[in-house]
Every structure is written in C-alpha cells, then in structure tokens.
Chain A
C-alpha cells in the first residue's frame, strides 16, 4: 500500500483525494453559513427594512451581550441552563438507551412493556411541566426531570429501532462465536444501533433546549430561559435577543460536538 504514491501520478492522486478534500471544505463552510444570515439581518436593520423595535441590529445586540459578558451575568445564566440540560440529558439518555437495547433484543419485553411506552410517548412534555413543578418543586430537580422525560423517549425509540434493524446475520455470528446474552447486547446490539443512537442524541439535544427554555420561563430564578422571560417583562428587546442567540448557539454547539463524536465512533457506517 505504501507503493501507491509511486504507482499513481500526481494527477491521479489529486483526483483520488478530491472528494475527501471537498468534504472538509463543506464542513468548514457549514460552520459559517449561519453567519451569512446574521449579515443579512444586520443590513436589513441598518437600512430600516425591518422594525428595529422588534429586531434590533445584531451589532446592537452584540453590544448588550458584551456588557453582559463583562459583568459575567451571561455566564451565570448559561451555566445554570447548561447544568440543567447536561444532567437532565444524561438522566434521560442512559435509561433510554439501555431500555431501547433491552426491548430491541427481547421480544417478550417488547411485547409486554412496549405498549406502556407507546401510551406515554404522545403526551407533550411541556404539557406535563406544571405537574412536574407541582411534584418536584420549582428547583432544579423539576428541570432535570422534564428534560430527562423528553430525552428518554427519543433515545428509547431510536435505540430500539436501531436494534430491530440489525441484520439477523450479526446475531447469528455472535451466537456461533459463543457470545453470551450480555455480550450480544454490548458487542452486537449496541454498536449496530449506534448510528440510530446518534440520530437520537442529536434530536434529543435539540428538544432539550426547547424544553429547558419553557421550563425556565415558568419556574426559575436563573438560566437563559428565565433571562429571556425577564427581558420580555421589562421590554428589554436587545437582552431578549441575547438570550435567544445564546440558547441557539448553545444548541448548535451541542449538536456540532455530537456530530464530531458521531464521525469518530460510526466512521464504519459510511458506505
């Protein structure tokens, strides 16, 4: 294989590597495409194409943001939100993946327990927020729980779907190679479901931020959601936008991080 460079011409090598290079270029560009939107917004606001009372220019928002950064106020809210999302996400993802694997592998478990999850899944998570606040109080526990519930179902269904799609031949290989039930679980079902698990993780990250924003509107003294709500009450539109942008960026970065992990762990799944 080391002889490839001597056999192939410069031109052939260049063409061989072109798709990979293009892929890198696209990835690079994908980080910056949102910036284009921002630029359009700035110009529209500067030239009064949109109402500045509702849509202050990004530069004005940035100025507000800068003040909040310097005063560290922003980081407190971000920290609070991130902690709630992080803990709630784990609390939902770990049992979601585990149960998804178990029900995916075991037909009896799927038959018996499946209907319970199917019945609970359609309940809108935000609709039960008041109930959760009632049970767990207005502290962080209620935030963890409501996020965990949302994440759980997405992870559960995506993982189980991934396991159910595993070709039978992999199970046969494991059985013939002498795998125990537990080994089939960890060495076959889990890796086979990994692409679906990552799909679930990304969906769950998105919905976590939706849920936390709503949860912090209702009952919280900190967090980006609280901050957006408080800004609305004082009609501080620029601050409100800072909150919206910050929570969006947090979601965006989370998904970028998950995509980086996905590229690393499921490199094998690309054809």
Chain B
C-alpha cells in the first residue's frame, strides 16, 4: 500500500511505546438454549501506540463492539491476550443509549467524578467545561427523557471525557448525529486528543470518519471478525476536516477501504 510509506506525523507522545496490545484475541458466545456458538472475533492481533488514534471499521456484526468491550474489561476473552499499559482504566463511550435516566444531564456527566468523591466545586467546574464542549449548557438540568438521541450521545461523550483518562474507547459515538454536529464534535475530539495525548480507539461504520480522524485504520472482515488490513493514514496534523477532502490521497484511501469491505469473507 502506497499510504503506508507516507507517515508524516511528528507526534509529541509518539515515542512512549504501546498503550494497548491485543494478541490472538478470540471471542465466542454460546447460547445454551439452542446450542449455538457464535464466533464474534477470531484471532485478532494489533497494537496501539501511546497517544495514537486508531479507528476500527467493519461490517455490522463483525465483532467491533466485542473487541472494545473486552478492552474495557466488560467482557472476558475466550483466548488470546489483551494488555493495557495505562495508569487509569479506559473510558468508554457506548454504542447504545447509556445515559442514566434518573440523573440530570449535569449529574450524568459528573457521574465518574462523584463516584470518586471529587469535591463538589471541582465537579461543577469540570462539568461546565464539558457542557460547553458538547453544546449542552442549556440542558444542564434536563432529564434524559427530555433530550434527543443525538443529545444523549453527546452526554455520553462528555461523561467519558470528564475524568480525563488516558485511554478513550469510543463505539460509534457520533453515529446518531447530523453532519454538522458530527463535524463539530470530530474537530473537538481531535483538538482534545492533540492537546491531551490520549490514546483513542474509535469504532465507526463510516470510512470517511475513520480517515478524518485516525492515524491508523484497522479493517475487519465480516463475522467471524478478523483483521484484514492495518492502514496508516498519511495526513498531517492538525487536520482540517473540511480541507482534507480536497486531497486526492483521501479518496484513494477511501477507495482502498471500500474495496476491502466489499470483498467477500474468506470462510
């Protein structure tokens, strides 16, 4: 692949070694009711450097969420190993609606802080920042049933960012958003990532989004999910998410990923 040679980014935190090491990860589910085994992920290996932004793309049901849940410690692997090198546990943005309906927007965002017993004043400052960031200031005291789907998703993003963990796991976080809001949040995420040096694993259905955000794109095959490609995205940082669409390389890579996604699974 042409793109691989063109690595450009002189990232500040780039030398620190791997933050995430996944090797020969296999995960299956067993349904005892009708005695059925579903292999969700098959022999997946990859590493994520500290401070790197990696996107995972792949068809629906190929095991992306499963990989992320295993990284988050919410699910156990069947075999293989997963190692995280980080002083804080990873923060997760879930694919499905995950705001707690009995808490207001502010309380939802403050949830990880309040569990830790962070002083009230400090929580409020931090929550205010997150509300501004996600454009939810007017809804600080609203309950989730008063929010739109996209707004709930923004609450989840704010909650994952609020206690500033090293590793951020995001499962199609902008899937339910309109183009403009998505663009704004993509820019913001890139800005946060560039200033904090977080390690990000980001799942998306959108090749476009993956190329916009990532240092590397991992492409998965249909279920049972395997890694079929590990592509480096050559665009310099900081990126202008609008301007980069004029770059021919952007469309070449889009074509490349689509070709991989369209090819039938080797069973």
Q: Which of B96, B144, B159 is in CB contact (< 8 Å) with A177?
A: B159
Whether A177 touches B74, Cβ cut-off 8 Å, given contacts A268-B144, A269-B101, is no
The answer, yes or no, to whether B235 is at the interface (CB within 8 Å) is: no
Whether A173 touches B116, Cβ cut-off 8 Å, given contacts A268-B143, A268-B145, is no
The answer, yes or no, to whether B102 is at the interface (CB within 8 Å) is: yes
Would you call A176 and B96 a contact (CB within 8 A)?
Answer: no
- A:153-178 near B, CB below 8 Å: 169-170, 172-178
Instruction: Name the interface size band of chain A.
Output: 20 to 34
Would you call A177 and B145 a contact (CB within 8 A)?
Answer: no
Partner-contacting stretch, out of B4-12, B24-32, B50-58, B86-94: B86-94
Q: How far is the CA of A178 from the CA of B74 in the complex (A)?
A: 12
Instruction: Name the interface size band of chain B.
Output: 20 to 34
How close is A217's CB to chain B, nearest CB, in angstroms? Answer: 42
The answer, yes or no, to whether A271 is at the interface (CB within 8 Å) is: yes
Would you call A177 and B102 a contact (CB within 8 A)?
Answer: no
The answer, yes or no, to whether A53 is at the interface (CB within 8 Å) is: no
The answer, yes or no, to whether A36 is at the interface (CB within 8 Å) is: no
Would you call A173 and B101 a contact (CB within 8 A)?
Answer: no
Name the CB-closest residue of A to B97: A169
The answer, yes or no, to whether A106 is at the interface (CB within 8 Å) is: no
Contacts of B72 in A (CB 8 A): 176
Contacts of A169 in B (CB 8 A): 94, 96-98
How close is A194's CB to chain B, nearest CB, in angstroms? Answer: 7
Contacts of B145 in A (CB 8 A): 268, 270-271
Q: How far is the CA of A267 from the CA of B69 in the complex (A)?
A: 32
Would you call B111 and A172 a contact (CB within 8 A)?
Answer: no
Interface majority SS (helix, strand, loop, mixed), chain B? loop
Number of inter-chain CB pairs below 8 Å: 55
Would you call A187 and B101 a contact (CB within 8 A)?
Answer: no
Contacts of A175 in B (CB 8 A): 73-74
Whether A194 touches B102, Cβ cut-off 8 Å, given contacts A172-B94, A173-B94, A177-B159, is yes
Q: How far is the CA of A243 from the CA of B89 in the complex (A)?
A: 63
Would you call A267 and B143 a contact (CB within 8 A)?
Answer: yes
The answer, yes or no, to whether B35 is at the interface (CB within 8 Å) is: no
Q: How far is the CA of A176 from the CA of B88 in the complex (A)?
A: 11
- B:98-114 near A, CB below 8 Å: 98, 100-103, 111-112
How close is B82's CB to chain A, nearest CB, in angstroms? Answer: 15
The answer, yes or no, to whether B267 is at the interface (CB within 8 Å) is: no
Q: How far is the CA of A179 from the CA of B73 in the complex (A)?
A: 13
Q: How far is the CA of A191 from the CA of B112 in the complex (A)?
A: 17
Contacts of B34 in A (CB 8 A): none
The answer, yes or no, to whether B37 is at the interface (CB within 8 Å) is: no
The answer, yes or no, to whether B266 is at the interface (CB within 8 Å) is: no
The answer, yes or no, to whether B178 is at the interface (CB within 8 Å) is: no
The answer, yes or no, to whether B121 is at the interface (CB within 8 Å) is: no
How close is B191's CB to chain A, nearest CB, in angstroms? Answer: 24
Would you call B101 and A268 a contact (CB within 8 A)?
Answer: yes
How close is B165's CB to chain A, nearest CB, in angstroms? Answer: 9
Among all A-B residue pairs, the 10 with the closest Cβ atoms: A177-B112, A191-B102, A268-B102, A176-B92, A268-B143, A268-B101, A173-B98, A169-B98, A179-B115, A172-B74
Listed in ascending order, the chain B residues whose CB lies under 8 Å from chain A are 69, 72-74, 89-92, 94, 96-98, 100-103, 111-112, 115-116, 138, 143-145, 159
Further pairs besides A1-B138, A176-B72: 13, Cβ < 8 Å: A170-B98, A173-B94, A173-B98, A174-B115, A177-B115, A177-B159, A187-B115, A191-B100, A191-B102, A194-B102, A266-B102, A269-B102, A271-B145
